[in-house]
Amino acid sequence: MKTENNIAIKVQGLAKRFGDVQAVAAVDFEVSSGELFGFLGPNGAGKTTTINMLTGLARPDAGTIHLGGIDCTRKPRGAQHLIGVVPDESNLYPELSGYDNLCFCAALYGLSKAERQARAKELLEVFDLTKAAKRKFGGYSKGMKRRLTIAAGIIHRPKILFLDEPTTGIDVASARQLRQLIKELHKNGTTIFLTTHYIDEAERLCDRVAFIMDGRIVKVDNVTNLVEPIRAQHVLQISCADTAKNLTEELAKEFPGLTFTSPQPGLIRVESDAAIYIGALIRSLENHRIDVTEARKVKPSLEDVFVQITGINADIMRKEREKSGVKA
Amino acid sequence: MKRWIAFWNILVKDFRTYYLKPPNISWGLIFPLAWTGMFFIRSGRGLESLSSILPGVIALSILFGTTSLLAVTVTFEKKNRSFERLLLAPIPLELLMLAKTSGAILFGVVNAFVPIIMAAFLVDLSQVNWLLFIPAVVLISIASTFLGLFIAVAVSEVFEAQTFSNFFRFPMIFLCGLFFPLSALPFFLKPLAYVLPLTYGADLLHGAIHGGNIMAFPLDLIILALFCIGLFMASLRNIKRRWIV
Ligand SMILES: Nc1ncnc2c1ncn2[C@@H]1O[C@H](COP(=O)(O)OP(=O)(O)OP(=O)(O)O)[C@@H](O)[C@H]1O
Ligand SMILES: [Mg+2]
């Protein structure tokens, strides 16, 4: 049951323009309390701008924002006590040590001295930064900076956490550890708004995702709902040494019932509702004097949904642009 | 209570990272010394003229000390994005900006006492009206800090802040009656003097130190206080309009 009380984030008609760029255009969505919501989109789609408006760092041109029931349109920065933010770039103090940075951030939220110190030590431990605790933040490596920035974002145990590309720029082990931490925060009831480029990451972590492109949400749904329709699909990816030839049309004539696309030169993607038999395909390619280096059956994933949806969108937009071009 | 924990820690952090740095401390000492020396040499007069120079030196120490530091604490943090960290915290903007400026105000007050202490070794300060001197110094500190804040939030680069603040600071040396009486100004510059806050501050100091004020004290105090309020409000407005874009 959805009541106003268990909606953590509610956004209606949110829009923001920078000069000629419509960074965010009429975005609507809701995130329930305790939900892990993924915000996916290519570079420049408007993810960070959306977070900035939600967290009071940018002023929307239009639309309304409610965080934890607080109307942040009327009271900008009115819900700051509820939220934690991990920005895409670090915003800690380079001249303070890691430990002092955490204590200072905790103090901004009014934690007592004992609490601040205990929490800072705890988080330094969690993020494997205890040894670097006394070193200046400015001298940290990129990944260490990222980890401390994340620690600073959760030091006051926020109810709603905004994570802007948390795993970008950190090594595999730290990224895995971080995902584990996000899962734990989620389990403990924190509402999490996560933006990422890594669609597999979103698929693994999120309850629901929104795809955003050119400042518009093109799809919002449960991850399972999104992937379900294509789960039954069979997908084969064939890599070829020769990248010049594009045989998708000839192959489609030869194998009716299969769909052929070439997402990039040297890669042929075969899709079908029924099982795909590899032998005949490879033989046919070899008859065309194509050197096949690899053929791999892949499980359809959220990424395929993403490509499908955003691809369709790009198509529609192109047509619209052509239409308006004809008029003009 | 929670807000005051934040307030106090912002203040302490600024003191530790900016104010107590050796360059700032030495700046606070050398600056008044240099000005005093320069005016002695220029005027060619003896020690007895010190008390007429003192108000100007004190006012300048405060003005330059506070505005230089504020340009760093605010503009620099805006540039490296740590100011966003403060905006994300659950503190009202007014309190946040007071926390960012109280350090500079205190720094200004302390700076004002450097020339006073130096002068105490050279001349008799027994006729100084301390009851007027203290509030004058505090008000001048507040007004010049808020002037610095106003400048800092009107620009986006540190070097712009320096240029822009010099645009205000250097004319004030000559226009505010610090070393030359206002009556010595050409008539077309006089109106300019009356729209600068330091004019009223300097008048208070002249009055407190050697009884040389030209306006009534309450008038000086009220106008200076109005400048403080006006500059602070204008700065808040600018932050909301230009920084939260
Ligand atoms: N302060 C700004 N001034 C001008 N344009 C801006 C500003 N901030 C964002 N934009 C523009 O708005 C659009 C959306 O930017 P945004 O940073 O929100 O994208 P994003 O989805 O976070 O991208 P990325 O994945 O690269 O982080 C971009 O075209 C960007 O150039
Ligand atoms: Mg971004």
Asked if the Cβ–Cβ distance from B17 to A93 is below 8 Å, we say yes
Looking at the domain assignment, is residue A312 inside a domain? no
Q: Are residues A129 and A263 in the same domain?
A: no
User: A305 is written with which tokens?
Assistant: 């949904």
Q: Within this chain, do residues A123 and A269 fall inside the same structural domain, yes or no? A: no
Specify if A322 maps to a domain: no
- Residue A247 and residue A107 share a domain: no
Residue located nearest, by CA, to atom 2 of ligand 1:
A18
Find chain B residues with C-beta within 8 A of A58's C-beta: 244-245
Residue B161 pLDDT > 80: no
Which one of A1-5, A90-94, B78-82 scores highest in mean pLDDT?
A90-94
For the cut 80, the answer to whether the pLDDT of residue A310 exceeds it is no
Best residue among A24, A39, A47, A57 to mutate for probing ligand 1, ranked by most atoms within 8 Å of CB: A47
Q: How confident is the model at residue B158 (pLDDT cuts 50, 70, 90)?
A: low
Domain membership of residue A165 (yes or no) is yes
> Domains in chain A: how many in total?
2
* Structural domain range at position A265: 232-298
Query: In Å, how far are A127, A141, A161, A295, A298 from A149, measured between CA atoms?
Result: 10, 12, 13, 42, 36
- Residue whose CA is closest, atom 16 of ligand 1? A46
Write out pLDDT tens, residues B13-70.
Answer: 998 888 887 777 776 667 767 776 776 676 666 666 778 888 988 998 899 888 888 8
Q: A209 with A265, same domain? A: no
pLDDT over threshold 70, residue A271? yes
- Best residue for ligand 1 mutational test, from A16, A24, A48, A163 (most atoms within 8 Å of Cβ): A48
Q: Domain boundary at A200, A227, A254, which?
A: A227
Average pLDDT over residues A121-130: 94
Are residue A158 and residue A293 in the same domain, yes or no? no
Spatial contact of B158 and B71, defined as CB atoms under 8 Å apart: yes
Same-domain status, A34 and A158:
yes
> Tens of pLDDT along A57-104?
999 999 999 999 999 998 889 999 999 999 999 899 999 999 999 999
> Is A44's C-beta closer than 6 angstroms to any atom of ligand 1?
yes
Same domain (yes/no): A61, A175 = yes
Assess whether A144 and A257 both reside in one domain.
no
With respect to residue A309, please indicate whether it lies within any of the assigned structural domains: no
Which atom of ligand 1 is found nearest the CA of A16? 12
Choose from A16-20, A241-245, A256-260, B68-72 the range with maximum mean pLDDT. A16-20
The answer to whether residues A192 and A85 belong to one domain is: yes
> What letter represents residue A242's amino acid?
D
**Phi, psi angles (nearest 5°) of residue B233:** -60, -45
Q: Which two tokens stand for residue A232?
A: 């039954």
Question: Which residues lie closer than 8 Å to B130 by C-beta, 6 or more apart?
Answer: B208
Task: Give the tokens for residue A7.
Answer: 């909606």
Mean pLDDT of chain B: 86
pLDDT in tens, A136-182: 999 999 889 999 999 999 999 999 999 999 988 788 888 888 899 99
For residue A21, how far is its CA from the centre of ligand 1 (angstroms)? 9
**A131 & A144 share domain:** yes
Q: Is residue A326 part of a domain?
A: no
Atom of ligand 1 nearest to the CA of A47: 21
Tell me how far apart the alpha carbons of residues A226 and A305 are, in angstroms, rounded to a whole number. Answer: 7
Is the residue at A292 inside a domain?
Answer: yes
Question: How close is the Cα of A47 to the center of ligand 1, in Å?
Answer: 8
Same structural domain, A45 and A180: yes
Does A111 sit in the ligand 1 pocket, CB within 6 Å?
A: no
What's the pLDDT tens digit per position in B107-120?
Answer: 899 989 888 888 88
Please tell me whether residues A110 and A157 are part of one structural domain: yes
Domain boundary among A210, A227, A244: A227
Q: Are A108 and B91 in contact (CB under 8 A)?
A: yes
Domain boundary among A227, A243, A262: A227
How many C-beta neighbours within 10 Å does residue B96 have? 22
Quote the pLDDT of residue A110: 95
Establish if B178 touches chain A: CB-CB under 8 angstroms: no
Residue A323 domain-assigned (yes or no) = no
Which among B152, B145, B139 is positioned nearest to B64, based on CA atoms? B145
Ligand 2 midpoint to CA A87 (Å): 9
Region B167-184: what's the mean pLDDT? 85
Give the number of whichever ligand sits closest to the CA of residue A14.
1
- What is the per-residue pLDDT across A276-304, written as a single tens digit (0 to 9) for each? 888 888 888 888 888 888 888 887 778 77
What's the A196 CA to ligand 2 centre distance in angstroms? 9
Residue A3 confidence (pLDDT) above 70 = no
